[in-house]
Amino acid sequence: MAAKLCGVDLALALHMHEWLTAPPPGAPAMPLAFTTGAAAACFALIKISVVKPAVFWGALVAFLSLPVLLALS
């Protein structure tokens, strides 16, 4: 979902998730591909979804329900 929101290749987003959940042993710093452009925003969303899943899903539901609430008022 983060890949679609940020316009990033799905393979890169899956690599980000894999790196966050099971980093390779002796891994240096974060790969440079995760730090520039739309990939940085995608990495931030994926990190929030891994570290604090309730916050991620709550924010997503709140964001998507805003137009409905505005239409009802």
Nearest to 6 by CA among 32, 33, 45, 36: 45
Q: In degrees, to the nearest 5, what angle opens at C-alpha 35 toward C-alphas 3 and 8?
A: 20
The pLDDT assigned to 14 comes to 94
pLDDT bin (cut points 50, 70, 90) of residue 53 is very high
Q: Residues 1-52: pLDDT tens digits?
A: 888 889 999 999 999 999 988 877 776 778 888 889 999 999 999 999 999 9
Distances (CA, A) of 61 to 46, 57, 67, 69: 16, 6, 11, 12
